[in-house]
Amino acid sequence: MSRDMSYDAVMARQNEIMKKAVGIDYDEFELGGLAFDYEKMMREVGYSIEDIIKIQQQTSVGNTPLIELKNITKLVRAVSPRGKGARIFIKDEAANPSGSFKDRRASVSAYRAKEQGYEGMIAATSGNYGAAVASQAARRGLKCIIVQEVFDSQGRGQPEILEKGRKCEAFGADVIQLTVGPELFYQSLRMLEETGYFNASLYTPFGIAGIETLGYELAGQVKECAGRYPDAVVITHAGGGNVTGTARGLMKAGCTDTKIIGASVDLAGLHMASDRDFNRKAFTTGHTGFGVPFATWPDRSDVPRNAARLLRYLDRYVLVTQGDVFYMTEALSQLEGMERGPAGNTSLAAAFAIAREMDRDEILVVQETEYTGAGKMPSSQLTFAKRMGEKVYRGDTSEDKPGKRIVIPLSPSQIKPKDVDLMQLKRSYIKNCIENSHVNKLSEKDVEFLTQETKLDGDEVEGIINGLEIR
Question: pLDDT for 71-100, tens place per residue?
Answer: 999 999 999 999 999 999 999 999 999 999
Among the listed ranges 56-60, 111-115, 370-374, which one has the minimum average pLDDT value?
370-374
pLDDT band at 195 (very low <50, low <70, confident <90, very high): very high
Residues 224, 327, single domain; the answer is: yes
Last residue of a domain, one of 382, 397, 419: 419
**Of 351, 325, 345, 346, whose CA–CA distance to 231 is shortest?**
351
Residues 316, 445, single domain; the answer is: no
Q: Is 88 helix (H, G, I), strand (E, B) or coil?
A: strand
- What is the mean predicted confidence (pLDDT) over 31-57? 95
The predicted structure's pLDDT at residue 158: 85
> Per residue in 98-124, pLDDT tens?
999 999 999 999 999 999 999 999 999
**Average pLDDT taken over every residue of the chain:** 93
Residues 210, 196, single domain; the answer is: no
Residues 237, 221, single domain; the answer is: yes
Residues 328, 211, single domain; the answer is: yes
> Per residue in 12-24, pLDDT tens?
888 888 889 999 9
- CB contact set of 125 (below 8 Å; sequence gap of 6+): 133, 146, 147, 148, 202
Integer CA distances (angstroms), 42 to 3, 49, 280, 342, in order: 33, 12, 37, 30
Residues 295, 194, single domain; the answer is: no
Residues 200, 210, single domain; the answer is: no
Kindly list the strands in the beta sheet with 120-124, ordered across the sheet, starting from the edge strand earlier in the chain: 174-179, 143-151, 120-124, 198-199
User: Cα–Cα distance between 169 and 114 in angstroms, integer?
Assistant: 21
Query: HSE-up of 444 (CA within 13 Å, CB side)?
Result: 0
The predicted structure's pLDDT at residue 289: 87
Q: Is residue 442 part of a domain?
A: yes
Residues 13, 118, single domain; the answer is: yes
Q: Is residue 195 part of a domain?
A: yes
Residues 107, 94, single domain; the answer is: no
Residues 366, 444, single domain; the answer is: no
User: Cα–Cα distance between 217 and 412 in angstroms, integer?
Assistant: 30
Full domain range(s) for residue 191: 7-42+102-204
Q: Is residue 2 part of a domain?
A: no
The predicted structure's pLDDT at residue 471: 47
Please state the separation of Cα 77 from the chain's center in Å.
29
User: Cα–Cα distance between 51 and 55 in angstroms, integer?
Assistant: 6
**Of 388, 389, 405, whose CA–CA distance to 397 is shortest?**
405
Q: Is residue 1 part of a domain?
A: no
- Helix segments in 93-230, DSSP class H: 102-115, 128-140, 159-170, 183-195, 205-226
Last residue of a domain, one of 204, 239, 269: 204
Q: Does 326 score more than 80 pLDDT?
A: yes
The answer to whether 127 and 157 are in contact (CB under 8 A) is: no
Split into its structural domains, the chain has a count of 3
Integer CA distances (angstroms), 124 to 174, 303, 452, in order: 12, 12, 29
Q: Is residue 47 part of a domain?
A: no
Residues 299, 386, single domain; the answer is: yes
User: Cα–Cα distance between 350 and 159 in angstroms, integer?
Assistant: 24
Last residue of a domain, one of 172, 204, 236: 204
Q: Is 65 helix (H, G, I), strand (E, B) or coil?
A: coil
Q: Is residue 81 part of a domain?
A: yes
User: Cα–Cα distance between 155 and 426 in angstroms, integer?
Assistant: 38
DSSP string, 339-393: ---HHHHHHHHHHHHHHTTSBTT-EEEE-------GGGSHHHHHHHHHHTT-EEE
Residues 28, 65, single domain; the answer is: no
| CATH code of residue 123 | 3.40.50.1100
Q: Does 470 score more than 60 pLDDT?
A: no
> Per residue in 206-240, pLDDT tens?
999 999 999 999 999 999 999 999 999 999 999 99
> Per residue in 330-359, pLDDT tens?
999 999 999 998 878 999 999 999 999 999
